[in-house]
Amino acid sequence: MTDDFYTAKGEYKLFTQPGRSEWKCYMFGNKPEINDGLAYVPAKGQEPNWFVRWMMKICFDCTWVKEQL
C-alpha cells in the first residue's frame, strides 16, 4: 500500500508502508481460539525476541503466535 501526496514546496513524495509481520500478539488474556479482544501485528522486522515474548506471557498474559500469511 502506498500513500501519495505533495509537500508544501509542491514536490511529489511517495511513501510505502512496511509489510506486516507473520507474528501476531493476542493481548491481555485474548487467545487465538477465542480472538475476542486486542490483537497486535508489528511491522516486518520489528518483532520482539523470544525473551520479550516470554516476559509478556508471564507478566501480561499475552500470547505470541507465528501465523502463515
Amino acid at 37: G
- pLDDT of the residue at 2: 46
14 inside domain = no
Tell me the chain's radius of gyration from C-alpha atoms. 17
- State how many domains the chain has: 1
pLDDT tens-digit readout, 8-39: 676 776 777 888 999 999 999 999 998 889 99
Span 29-57, mean pLDDT?
93
pLDDT (average), residues 46-51: 94
DSSP the chain: -EEEEE-TTS-EEEEEPPPBPSEEEE-TT--TTT--S-EE-PBTT----HHHHHHHHHHH--EEEE---
Q: Which domain holds residue 49?
A: 19-66
Query: What integer best gives the mean pLDDT of the chain?
Result: 85
The verdict on residue 7 lying in a domain is no
